[in-house]
Amino acid sequence: MVKAAIIILTGNESHADHGRLANGLEAAAEFATTDGDELLVVFDGAGTQWIPDLEDPDSDYHELYQKVRDDAVVCDYCASAFEVDEGIDESGLTRVDDFDGHPSVRDLVADGYEVITY
């Protein structure tokens, strides 16, 4: 069994950002579809901006996102900082605020997760 935490930090402004998102979701999907693996996908920082787009069925990444959506959470602080509160609320994803309003990377490490950032 493998425990992986994929943290999506990339924004959505450049072609490279789109590539990082796609690679992060692909990596997450591999864990999500492997029996016995445990996955957590954290949208943090500018990565929170992706949620409204990913929730849209017409998004290029919607289908891939759907493979990992049940394992996804969002940084509470960053959702507000990047002004996507409404989209996050509409998504129904869990907001995480373990450490100063952010997800706790230390807790992930302490819980045995391999932390991978995109």
Buried b (16+ CB within 10 A) or exposed e, 96-116: beeeeebbebeebeeeebeee
Residue 98: band (very low, low, confident or very high) from pLDDT cuts 50, 70, 90: very high
The whole-number average pLDDT for the span 94-99 is 98
Residue 9, C-beta contacts closer than 8 angstroms, at least 6 positions apart? 44, 45, 46, 47, 117, 118
Per-residue confidence (pLDDT) for residue 28, from 0 to 100: 98
pLDDT digits (tens, 9 = 90+) for 36-94: 999 999 999 999 999 999 999 999 999 999 999 999 999 999 999 999 999 999 999 99
Query: Domain ranges in the chain?
Result: 3-117
Instruction: Return the CATH architecture of domain 3-117.
Output: 3-Layer(aba) Sandwich (3.40)
Residue 117: band (very low, low, confident or very high) from pLDDT cuts 50, 70, 90: very high
